[in-house]
A and B are shown apart, each in its own frame.
Chain A
Amino acid sequence: EVQLVESGGGLVKPGGSLRVSCAASGFTFSSYSMNWVRQAPGKGLEWVSSITSAGTYIYYADSVKGRFTISRDNAKNSLYLQMNSLRAEDTAVYYCARGGYCSGGRCYGEHFDNWGQGTRVTVSS
């Protein structure tokens, strides 16, 4: 069974930093692209960032580019999101989501078939 478990959320002041993590199990983590998706309180889903299986290609939403860094450790089956220069509008539940299967340098599938339960990040003074 695929499991994604996020951790590391909490309360941080504006301008501060936080790193959230996602521990994966139940599948070959190193063969899949991974994503972060967030949801502000009472709002819709917003894609944040994606990383291919080997970390070769990384993409960000304009709203976080230059402030957030996605990374992964395939040996630890873990995904990370380092968030710097945090703003009030970054307050959200952050979900880890599995993307497409990657093979031979290509990834197949642009949908998110498994999600974690989310970790809450609150940016407030």
Chain B
Amino acid sequence: QSALTQPASVSGSPGQSITISCTGTSSDVGYYDFVSWYQQHPGKAPELMIYDVTNRPSGVSNRFSGSKSGNTASLAISGLQADDEADYYCSSFTTSSTVVFGGGTKLTVL
């Protein structure tokens, strides 16, 4: 159950777009379309932003979008806003019927 690989940090200016990658294996990201993304502000519980690779829960801005190619999933955020500054985690269901998270990416809005 090795963690999915995410960049430790990304940054962008307000209004810009960024992308966060999430690399797994053929036993998790590459096998199922069950990749999710979570946003976590300091001291708060995580919040679901994307599920099943591309789906947004109701109430989540359409500035957030997800995609996947092979063993790598991506989260894109367009029109960066100050409140987007947070930690982001990807997760995937695995062939062992477990869930694995990425190590997390700190997004800084410059």
Q: Which residues of A contact B (CB under 8 A)?
A: 35, 37, 44-47, 50, 57, 59-63, 95, 109-113, 115-118
9 nearest A-B residue pairs (beta carbon): A110-B93, A111-B51, A111-B36, A110-B34, A44-B104, A47-B99, A115-B45, A45-B101, A44-B103
In the complex, residue of chain B having the shortest beta-carbon distance to the beta carbon of A47? B99
Closest partner residue, chain B, to A45 (CB atom)? B101
Contact of A35 among B48, B52, B97, B99 (CB under 8 A): B99
Q: Cβ of B101 and Cβ of A113 under 8 Å apart?
A: no
Q: Once the chains bind, are A44 and B3 in contact (CB under 8 Å)?
A: yes
Binding site for A on B (CB under 8 A): 1, 3, 32, 34, 36, 38, 40, 45-48, 51-52, 57, 87, 89, 91, 93, 96-104
Q: Given the complex, which residues of A lie within 8 Å of B40, measured CB to CB?
A: 45
Contacts of A44 in B (CB 8 A): 3, 87, 89, 101-104
- Which residue of chain B lies nearest to A49 when distances are taken between CB atoms in the complex? B98
Q: How far is the CA of A2 from the CA of B100 in the complex (A)?
A: 24
List of A residues within 8 angstroms of B103 by Cβ: 44
Task: Determine how close the nearest CB of chain A comes to the CB of B40; give it in whole angstroms.
Answer: 8
Instruction: Please count the residue pairs between chain A and chain B whose beta carbons lie under 8 angstroms apart in the complex.
Output: 63
Contact flag A115-B1 (CB < 8 Å), given A59-B98, A110-B36:
no
Whether B32 and A61, one on each chain, are in contact in the complex, defined by CB atoms closer than 8 angstroms, is no
A63 to B18, CA, bound (A): 34
User: Is the Cβ of B48 less than 8 Å from the Cβ of A113?
Assistant: yes
Q: Are A111 and B102 in contact (CB under 8 A)?
A: no
A118-B45 contact given A59-B98, A110-B93, CB 8 Å threshold = yes
Known: A45-B101, A95-B46, A112-B48. 5 other contacts (CB 8 A): A44-B87, A50-B98, A110-B32, A111-B52, A117-B45
CA distance A45 to B102 in the complex (A): 8
Nearest B residue (CB) for A6: B45
A61–B89 touching, CB < 8 Å: no
A44: shortest Cβ distance to chain B, in Å? 4
* Closest chain A residue, CB of each to CB of B100: A47
